[in-house]
Amino acid sequence: MGNRVYAIDKFTMNQMWSYNAGSPVHTPPAYSPSRNMVVVASQDLYVHGINNADGSRLWRVKPTPRRPADSGFTEADMAEVRNGWPVIAEGHGLALIKYRLDWNALWRFSPWPGTNEAMRAALLSSPGEQALYALRLTDGSSAFIAHVGHGGFGDSGYLPMGPMPVVKQFADGTEVVYTVIRGRLCDPEDSTCDGRWDSHLGEMMLDDTTVPGYLAGYVRFIRNTFFPTDEQAYVSMAGDQLFAGHWEAGIAHQITDRSASRGTYGNPIVTTDLPHIATSQDEDICGLGFQASHYCGARLLNTREWPGGFYIYWRKGAVYDEYWSEYASWVVSNDTVYFVSTDGAVVALEHGAPSVSASGVVAATTNPGGEEPATELDVVIPYTQARAYAGHVVTVEGVIAYVFNNGKSVLLGFANPHQGAFKAQILQRNWGAFPAPPEMLYQVGQRVRIRGKIEWYQGDPAIYVHGPAQIETNWD
């Protein structure tokens, strides 16, 4: 779209009007039928209300105190709107705008406060940490402070946009938002209580009356299958069923009790598990072998353990890392539930009981026992050629451009930002094999050779390093 938003007559395909935002338009437009207006956000972080009758400007506001940035930024005062979209809460006359913040937003409140009173105080003192804004459609003014902190699928210095809010209208006309929220009450003895472990599915109020004691912008916690704050899931909803798309699995719950007494961290809204979807079932947990129904009701196990449900692949491991598209998502349409996995597989579910045969149908696979053995090649290749050697053991040479410890692994990147290029990963369980913390041993600007099997990590070629013998720093 460039700097402009266009209205096209769908019958004649003639242009009806165009609107100049003065900056590249970075979101698709959202439409409010009751007000006949369009809302977009632009690269300069401004939000625009446009009169759909003639394309004239109704209002233009910049709700965040942050300054605009491009993808890959790390500065604490920057944000962007790319890969998000305005969400209209028609009943309340609001446009909800999500901003992407920097990686360190994970840690500025670590963990995010666990009560609404503490959340409000924190956001009043640090307004740049607010990630979701509620703007009045009448004039673009801020309606309230939304208690939503930033998170998203991200790793090693970078957090993507993260989930968009979902507006839910009930039969009585009340309206709330479902999204991923943050917040945790900590036990002083809990050493893992930090910003990575404070994400939950949540319900946000749009007014002061829907739930007694909860003001507009306040959130209520929901019991859900856990995912970390740097792995936040996309949210979808249909009826009382809540869906979340994680990079490895599809999370699905049915809300069974959202009464006014529920919603605190210690007494969350109650849900039951619906069938989840895992990318791969890596252990025969049900003891039946591969099933034509792709169903195991006991539980699912890929690299994580998930509640029971469906698997896409049988013992294929981290398929998503090779075909990484960042987000999995759920769509509900005409009584059918569709799940699109990170690697691009599409699963369609309809109402009914899954068929599980005790006969144990054998999977059609060339290697039911696991991965094909890797071929060892006595070659040294530049890091730019690593993709072509996937599945082979080789030596990769290059200059380290990026080093980051995210608490789960140490990443040695050969480009900065590291997305799209070869990298080495040293997982936490292997740190003890090194004489010092790996992020101290290997530095930006250092030329290294790394030996190992070329695998995949979030769509990029990678070697998983188990010990210092795999990394050579001095050679003739």
Mean pLDDT of 349-353: 83
pLDDT (average), residues 305-317: 96
Which pairing describes strands 471-472 and 447-453: parallel, antiparallel, or unpaired? Answer: antiparallel
Q: Which residues touch 440 (CB under 8 Å, ≥6 apart)?
A: none
Q: Using pLDDT thresholds of 50, 70 and 90, give the confidence band for residue 362.
A: very low
- Calpha distance 167→394 (Å, rounded): 50
pLDDT at residue 70 in the model: 77
User: pLDDT value at position 371?
Assistant: 55
User: Considering only CA atoms, which of 448, 364, 374, 377 is closest in space to residue 412?
Assistant: 448
Residue 334 has pLDDT above 90, yes or no: no
- pLDDT for 187 equals 85
For residue 365, pLDDT over 80 is answered with no
Average pLDDT score over residue span 403-407? 89
Locate 447 and state its tokens. 């030329």
Domain residue spans of the chain: 375-472
pLDDT digits (tens, 9 = 90+) for 286-303: 998 998 899 999 999 998
pLDDT given at position 355 = 62
Q: How confident is residue 9, by pLDDT bands cut at 50, 70 and 90?
A: very high
Q: What is the pLDDT of residue 407?
A: 84
Question: What is the predicted pLDDT for the residue at 285?
Answer: 94
Please tell me which residue, 272 or 351, carries the higher pLDDT value: 272
| Average confidence (pLDDT) over 189-216 | 94
Res 24 pLDDT > 90: yes
* Cα distance between residue 113 and residue 195, in whole Å: 10
pLDDT score recorded for residue 417: 84
Copy the structure tokens of residue 213.
């004691």
Helix (H) or strand (E) holding 122: helix 116-125
465 CB neighbour count, 10 Å cutoff: 24
The residue type of 121 is A
Average pLDDT over residues 196-219: 97
DSSP letters for 129-193: G--EEEEETTT--EEEE-------S--SS-----PPPEEEE-TTS-EEEEEEEE-----TT-TT-
63-67, 254-258, 365-369, 438-442: lowest mean pLDDT where? 365-369
Q: CB of 443 within 8 A of CB of 404?
A: no
Higher pLDDT, 366 or 151: 151
CA atoms within 13 A on the CB side of 45: 21
pLDDT tier for residue 359 given thresholds of 50, 70 and 90 = very low
Residue 335 has pLDDT above 90, yes or no: no
pLDDT per residue as tens digits for the range 57-110: 999 999 999 999 876 777 889 999 999 999 999 999 999 999 999 988 999 999
Lowest mean pLDDT, pick from 36-50, 157-171, 252-266, 429-443? 157-171
Listed in sequence order, the DSSP H helices in 292-447 are 319-322, 438-441
Say what the pLDDT of residue 364 is. 37
**What is the Cα–Cα distance from 350 to 337, expressed in whole angstroms?**
6
Range name among 47-51, 73-77, 205-209, 434-438 with the lowest pLDDT average: 73-77
How far, in Å, CA of 410 to CA of 404, rounded? 6
Asked whether residue 7 carries a pLDDT value surpassing 70, the answer given is yes
Mean pLDDT (the chain) is 92
pLDDT recorded at residue 358? 38
399 or 152, higher pLDDT:
399
256-279, pLDDT tens digit by residue?
A: 999 999 999 999 999 999 999 999
Cβ neighbours, 10 Å, residue 262? 18
Residues 6 or more apart in contact with residue 110 via CB below 8 angstroms: 194, 195
The whole-number pLDDT of residue 350 equals 86
Give one DSSP letter per residue of 222-289, joined into a string.
B------GGGPPEEEEETTEEEEE-SSEEEEEEEEE--TT--SSSSPBEEEEPPEEEEEE-S-TTSS-
Q: Quote the CA–CA distance of 107 and 159 in Å, as a whole number.
A: 12
Q: 43 pLDDT band (50/70/90 cuts)?
A: very high
- Distance, CA of 371 to CA of 211 (rounded, Å): 53
The percent of residues above 70 in pLDDT, for the chain, comes to 95
What is residue 4's predicted lDDT score, i.e. its pLDDT? 96
What is the architecture of the domain spanning 375-472? Beta Barrel (2.40)
Contact between 331 and 236 under an 8 Å Cβ cutoff? The reply is yes
Strand partners, 220: 203
306, 249 contact by CB (below 8 A):
yes
In this prediction, what percent of the chain has a pLDDT beyond 90? 82
pLDDT at 76: 86
Amino acid 22: pLDDT: 96
User: Residue 108's pLDDT is what?
Assistant: 92
Short-list 255, 145, 140, 128, CA closest to 204: 145
- The secondary element (H helix, E strand) that includes residue 392 is strand 392-399
Burial of 10 (0-12, 13-18, 19+ CB in 10 A): exposed
- The structure tokens 């003739």 sit at 476
What does residue 384 show for φ and ψ, rounded to 5 degrees?
-70, -15
Q: How far apart are CA 442 and CA 37, in angstroms?
A: 54
User: Tokens at residue 68, please?
Assistant: 């605009």
Question: In which band, very low, low, confident or very high, does the pLDDT at 476 lie, cut at 50, 70 and 90?
Answer: low
